[in-house]
Chains A and B, each alone.
Chain A
């Protein structure tokens, strides 16, 4: 195989190594800050290698773990339900629109596609979802984002068209299978790779979403982890405030707790990232050649 000159390769690797570090180091700063002693933080600030380590912030979170666990619970439930329902809506529409001989296909495709081009914006959506009574319920996180990107429908439709040969449908129809059976027993299993890829993107969207919480949720009992983190920007005491209105906040190690909670919110993603990134990279490249 052809190789570039030595100097070039050296420079290239140095540049790429620096870029790689710049992607990681900011997260390292968050972690190191979270295990820094509070008084060290106040004199020296956040740093990559603190003078004095301490796990006080995590001890504080553990002592108030109910809030964090509850928020994680909300996030997990929302992510699971949202991903399953979102995938169902995406794949049923993609399946229907992938059938070339379906009467009305063009109109239906247009109706899906048009939502990518034009939307009413925040005000009408906000008024509508509020009037439907989703505020401060788990539905406030799930419903507004179920089909957050109609582009997924188009990706999946193209995948079905390209990978499932027409003979499969023909054979199924000769066997007397209805389209229900074709969808559930043929298309869903055959399209598993695209379900996984798009499902992961939908799940990531739900896991990371803080906007629905910002718009529709004000009850601390219903905070997701991202909503909780967002509220804590304004109010560090969010962690210890509970329903009864009493709060013990005099000795919150506020500076380190902020970073500790961000790290706790970040951790699950970091753990599964090595596994996920392959799918994300593949998904992005699939989008690149959408066809």
Chain B
């Protein structure tokens, strides 16, 4: 018996050998930094590294909250992500319904590939694209529509919630639309025929056929997004506002704060403290959301 299990193990030896590089990589890239999260409770200096720097209790957290940064960055991260979830979901559903109705395969393909184009661009390029519209001196808007009354976009905070929501929509809506489209493709077309014989118009069909069929996807995607609500798209918030200090109060999220604090003199402590909050709250949220998805629809749960 024992012999048999050792030969069995031996036959798997190549599999374990194949696993070594990947596991080693996860150990270095993921697991060691996980332990490094204790840096939030230390007075880090780069010479001593995380493990040999002296402890300093909750001092980093005290700075984070006393500086007033904590309130802003948590509020911005939460509010922007909430807006992104709502706006992107609604628009993506509308687009998926419209594209699914297109009879010509060629046009369908064209629409699909067009809406996915921004998804493949880097945020740096996107920031140049936005700059083309908003640049104070050379931007398209200030030289055409707003010629008589130009707006200093990069220094006036009140416009940025709208700008960031639009840019995020432009960049990500294609991805969500394809996910919804995948769910709609399976719907039996004869359902529409039958309901239209019953006198239903397209809007009523959306309510009675499309939305019920999309519902599982909507719930799953929304819950997963809620699980990541403490994580912001670093590129969007760092690149698109062009690091403009005048609008930091409406454009700084946890991720951009962590980066800026990290590279500022003496800011590494607050940076680690904010990162600690993000990791821990994010972890709890993902677990609870997954439990919710599991309850609702087992097959869509992450685990």
| Residues in A lying within 8 Å of B, measured CB to CB | 1-5, 8-9, 12-13, 15-16, 19-20, 22-24, 26-27, 29-30, 33, 41-42, 44-48, 88-90, 92-93, 95-96, 99, 102-103, 108, 111-113, 115-128, 130-131, 143-144, 146-147, 150, 153, 178-180, 183, 204, 207-211, 214, 226, 229-230, 233-234, 255, 258-259, 262, 265-266, 269, 273-274, 276-277, 280-281, 284-285, 287-289, 291
Contacts and interface: CB of A to CB of B under 8 A. Distances in A.
Given A2-B189, A130-B46, A262-B124, 6 more contacts: A2-B196, A33-B132, A124-B50, A127-B50, A262-B129, A285-B178
A89 B29 CA distance: 13
Interface residues of B, number: 107
B102 interface: yes
B65 interface: no
Contact of A26 (B16, B103, B129, B239): B129
Contact of B271 (A122, A179, A291): A122
Nearest to A117: B286
B258 A115 contact: no
B144 interface: yes
B207 interface: no
B140 interface: yes
Contacts of B235: 210-211
Interface in B150-209: 170, 174-175, 178-179, 181-183, 189-190, 192-193, 196, 202
B39 interface: yes
A129 to B, nearest CB: 9
A3 B190 CA distance: 11
B129 A27 contact: yes
B138 A20 contact: no
Contact of B33 (A15, A92, A125): A125
Contacts, number: 289
B292 interface: no
A119 B279 contact: yes
Interface of B: 8-9, 11-19, 21-23, 25-26, 28-37, 39, 44, 46, 49-50, 95, 98-99, 101-103, 107, 110-125, 127-133, 135, 137-140, 142-144, 170, 174-175, 178-179, 181-183, 189-190, 192-193, 196, 202, 217, 234-235, 239, 242-243, 255, 258-259, 262, 268, 271-272, 275-276, 278-279, 282-283, 286-287, 299, 302-303
Nearest to A213: B124
A173 B216 CA distance: 41
A45 B279 contact: no
Q: Report the 5 A-B pairs with minimum CB-CB distance, sorted nearest first.
A: A124-B36, A45-B143, A121-B275, A120-B33, A208-B122
B114 A23 contact: yes
Residue in B44, B128, B262 whose Cβ sees the most chain A Cβ within 10 Å: B128
B139 A103 contact: no
B137 A45 contact: yes
Contact of A122 (B30, B110, B144, B259): B259
B23 A30 contact: no
A267 to B, nearest CB: 11
Contacts of A27: 117, 129
Contact of A210 (B101, B110, B122): B122
A24 B30 CA distance: 38
Contacts of A130: 46
Given A45-B142, A121-B278, A183-B18, A23 B117 contact: yes
21 contacts: A2-B190, A2-B196, A19-B111, A23-B115, A23-B117, A26-B132, A30-B128, A44-B143, A45-B135, A46-B133, A119-B33, A120-B34, A121-B275, A130-B46, A143-B29, A144-B29, A178-B11, A208-B123, A269-B121, A280-B119, A288-B182
B279 A89 contact: no
